Structure 1
């Protein structure tokens, strides 16, 4: 199947973003309410959670709601507080060469991806990244050079908290460094288990393992896949080969010093690159973030799409994925 990726630019006027929201909102509304309206938090619960845990996002949240003439459901959705649970598989790692980069593979269902690179200039902060749920991000970079990427943590536990892509949006809106982002991660509850890898323009890096039933575990490991420290063997671990992918990345870093391009190339072939498209787990893109250059490269096995934070190109790109 073909998927068209495009850049959506959004300044404080929010007009282009609002047009995109309206075009896909019916599908997202169906997803958000798939378990029934009463299973999602009320508007008041969402409002209180945003004001308490993400106070700097609250004015933007209100502007986003107003931009789409949103009511109760739109407001609750745009908080992404206690949304429906969902899982995906990813690999991510930091290459610590002369110009450190954060590289990630995003493994998900090609029919469900936003396929939008969202370039926002909100609250005097530029952010560029891979959109999820219209406002949040599964990976991104801001104008301070802070880069973030997430992976599913492997455990199906669900609790009261925000979707991690929304937390990434908040961190990129409000933080300049890895240390500042970690301080925020300690305070904001997540609704599922996730791993977040962080890299900033001063070459500081960290990986944070988060879950609704545990305290955050912070390490300086440059690699994260789809499990967390101390987890017992579970079906998800062998179905996604998460341990094998982690070991492969660590082995390449320790035993085989490489150039930047050689390191990226590992993400374009097994075991990191997944061909499980028929099961909704194929690798949809590889993203390489360069914090010093404020640059994002999307990479597929046969072509590359380069975007700069200060001048992202308003172009589209059509990607062909195998059906099986």
Structure 2
């Protein structure tokens, strides 16, 4: 078993300052060194046009452009490199898994991916220059894998396919933009209809009103449906699906067969996080091992988080944090059954 951790990042202030402070903290760390090593081995199969990227950010999330500018200053890197590694527009992603279930009062999500991509950062950010306060695990520093904002809007995404990408934003940046700019599921659905998508993903949305929407998105179309379970295939935009979906259907069937009417959040968390229930995955070498399990309770504005399986979650009272009470822990620790390196540790 490998001992791992996620560092807790807490910040109150402007987007530019948030980016700058993150850049200063990350400069020279293993996270940045490993990104630079990656591009020495592999040439990017995409190109970055700074002016085009800025135009898209100014259209959909101008505050995110401020954060990227601050990150550039803190890292002391050219904007081309910042956008390549942390921008989330026209960049490349790898395939991965993930499973999500919801009830009226909560969303629980298993994040299944490859350890070498995991940067071990859990962020709480309260801006004073516009946009909503957001908490959740980060992806490529600026993006969010899943999360909740101060309005109680919850977001997570599931991979479907990388085939035939087009110019657009990738999942983790779209997730961040949703949480930064949308107050409820209706606003998030409209954003997902409008914003350009680079790849095919499902976005799962929940707010304090209790209704879950699954939004199937691709560069070629968007479909909105209501469901309480989502894995890694589309139900409507089926032409976007991969050919091999056995594992996706297997995890979906495992959730549906074991969930109960009015299941408590504790029981649901155990269903997703326990390693013997058929949903938690140990396929780390196949880019599909469960690294973390998140739970969000939008009515209480509470978040749970666990690294690895069979783990009791750390519980975060987001409502108290929003009212000025900083968390008194700096790391969340856990363990996973792999010897693969993690981006922030190895």
> Given the two structures, how large is their TM-score scaled by the length of structure 1?
0.88
Distance 1:6 1:59, change over 3 A: closer
- Preserved contact between residue 10 and residue 121 of structure 1 (Cα < 8 Å): yes
- Tell me which residue corresponds to 1:21: 26
Query: CA-to-partner distance for each residue in 1:218-241, whole Å, 9 max, x for gaps?
Result: 011122100112436745412xx1
- Tell me which residue corresponds to 1:44: 51
Measured after TM superposition, the shift of residue 119 of structure 1 is 1.4
Measured after TM superposition, the shift of residue 31 of structure 1 is 4.0
Cα distance between partner residues in 1 of 2:103 and 2:303: 15
In the alignment of these two chains, the number of paired residues is 317
Confirm or deny that 1:316 pairs with 2:327. no
Query: CA-to-partner distance for each residue in 1:136-168, whole Å, 9 max, x for gaps?
Result: 001011111111001101453422111111011
Confirm or deny that 1:167 pairs with 2:174. yes
- Tell me which residue corresponds to 1:266: 271
Cα distance between partner residues in 2 of 1:316 and 1:53: 32
Alignment equivalent of 1:140, drawn from 147, 165, 170: 147
- Preserved contact between residue 96 and residue 113 of structure 2 (Cα < 8 Å): yes
Distance 1:193 1:179, change over 3 A: same
Confirm or deny that 1:66 pairs with 2:73. yes
- Preserved contact between residue 103 and residue 210 of structure 2 (Cα < 8 Å): no
Q: Structure 2: which 5+ residue stretches go unaligned?
A: 340-346
Measured after TM superposition, the shift of residue 50 of structure 1 is 1.6
- Preserved contact between residue 56 and residue 174 of structure 1 (Cα < 8 Å): no
Task: Single out whichever of 146-155 and 12-21 deviates more from structure 2.
Answer: 12-21
- Preserved contact between residue 53 and residue 187 of structure 1 (Cα < 8 Å): no
- Preserved contact between residue 161 and residue 199 of structure 2 (Cα < 8 Å): no
Confirm or deny that 1:219 pairs with 2:220. no
Cα distance between partner residues in 1 of 2:54 and 2:134: 24
Measured after TM superposition, the shift of residue 37 of structure 1 is 5.9
- Tell me which residue corresponds to 2:344: none
Distance 1:17 1:155, change over 3 A: closer
> Given the two structures, how large is their TM-score scaled by the length of structure 2?
0.83
Structure 1 residues 53-92: aligned runs within 5 Å: 53-77=60-84, 78-92=86-100
> Pairwise CA RMSD of aligned residues?
2.4
Distance 1:59 1:234, change over 3 A: closer
- Tell me which residue corresponds to 1:105: 110
- Preserved contact between residue 277 and residue 321 of structure 1 (Cα < 8 Å): no
- Preserved contact between residue 8 and residue 332 of structure 2 (Cα < 8 Å): no
